[in-house]
Amino acid sequence: MQTVQFQDLGRMDYQAAWDFQTSLHRSLVDKKLNNKQLQPGSYEQDHRLLLVEHPPVYTLGKSGSIDHLLLSEAEMAERGIQFFPINRGGDITFHGPGQIVGYPILDLDCFFTDVHRYVRSIEEVMIRTLAEYGIEGRRIKEYTGVWIANEEETAFRKICAIGVHLSRWVTLHGWAFNANTPLEYFDYIVPCGIDDADKSVTSLARELGHPVDMQAVKDKMKRHFADIFECTLHDIA
């Protein structure tokens, strides 16, 4: 069983968090190369799970379209929103207050070398977390992320976006779970490039009708992450 070091970074600017996870990613890759004569998992790798809350920011994945950003630079500056084109998969999304962003930096050679399984595993963490609030999280075949269906199952609301990047089977980026997120920020983008009339964005607070305890949600996520990835989480400062 692998040990994953866990850090809650609190509120942190996107650039600082990106730089931090990039340095961690580089450290894991370097350690992997320095031990390439050994079997993966036979030495202690420095896996990490970061949780963070960002000030308002839009990020655009490498396969996304800038046309899905509906604000000008001046309008973003007026609203205090930053913008970053980044190297994860997927299109444009929002990070901001009330959202739990997770960055697993894992050497998947020590877990499983299957990108599809990795994304499904993150989705399962969120589905199990939602279940603790009496909400059924769903997958949609054509899209990544976790959704909630209306009673007729004719429309879907996205509560968690997922976008990842892998290099030498070491992961970067991760998920964005809307807990108490102000949803009006999504009005200024085409979220994840999806403009279907039957697809929208939601938050746990909206689904429950009241704000949620962020720490309680994080604790549930951590527990399910450890179960799904069959690892031990070790809290560090």
Tokens of 181: 């997120």
Q: What φ, ψ does residue 44 adopt, rounded to 5°?
A: -80, 115
Catalytic one of 110, 160, 192, 231: 192
Active site residue 110: no
Query: Residues with catalytic annotation?
Result: 192
